[in-house]
Amino acid sequence: MLKEHFDKENPHHAYLIEGNREDILPQVLEFTEILGLQKNSPDLCHILMDNFKIDDAFALKKMSGEMSTTDGKKVFIVSANQFSPDAQNTMLKMFEEPIFNTHFFMIVPDIDALFKTLISRFYVIKNEGNNEIEIKLAEKFIAMPMQLRINYIKEFLVEPEDEIVEDSIRSKTLKFLNMLELVLHKKVSKTQFNKNITQAFEQILLARKFIRQPGSASKTLLESVALSIPEKI
């Protein structure tokens, strides 16, 4: 629950929240109502997209500098799967210097994908939610024979009909890599570590590094991870 992080009397000027936007957004909107802003308020702006780019950052900067229509608070909610490096650099100054009566809520699937310098400007709320479904999928994947893993990846990477509302393929892949790493750590004790297990962790690390780069191929990266994990653990 996010309530423990939100203070009506002294709200932070910028929150960075990690997790599933479908779970987080209703809680943020509930808090904005407490601050006096209804969902249809002209002073409440919700930006929802897959990839937040430099032009979007400039637009946000411009809007945040405009006066509110009621002389009260203004709130910007930004939900995005990815933030381009240029966009992050553009936002650094904006979040460093609070704007009077203006508050930001940024919802992201993976905080670690952002620059540490940008993260430092926010009140950070890391996702401690329920990942049971994702963990079970990762466990099932690891238990599969190699060929079934490859077949599963083909189905896993089917493009969503609405990639703005649903997680992008890249974001979805990153979450899956994180869950695979978590499950592997739980399955393998220190005494079971060997060359093959070490290579599997190294491949996950490498895939996670490249998945954040433009033009990366999720299918190829996931297949490399699938082939690196031993069939019997």
Q: Is 167 exposed, middle or buried (0-12, 13-18, 19+ CB in 10 A)?
A: middle
Helix, coil or strand: residue 127: coil
The pLDDT tens digits for 163-211 are 444 457 777 888 889 889 888 888 876 556 788 888 999 999 899 888 8
Helix axis angle for 85-96 and 54-64, nearest 10°, is 20
| Angstrom distance (rounded) from CA 129 to CA 14 | 21
Domain ranges in the chain are 3-125, 132-228
The pLDDT tens digits for 51-62 are 899 999 999 999
| Angstrom distance (rounded) from CA 104 to CA 33 | 14
| Angstrom distance (rounded) from CA 197 to CA 119 | 32
pLDDT at 160: 56
From the options 3.30.1300.10, 3.30.930.10, 3.40.50.10800, 3.40.50.300, give the CATH code of 3-125.
3.40.50.300
Q: Greater confidence, 216 or 180?
A: 180
Rg of the chain over CA atoms, in angstroms? 20
pTM of the model: 0.68
| Angstrom distance (rounded) from CA 210 to CA 224 | 12
The pLDDT tens digits for 123-152 are 999 865 557 788 899 999 999 999 999 999
* 117: Cβ contacts below 8 Å, ≥ 6 apart: 92
- Give the tokens for residue 69: 């229509």
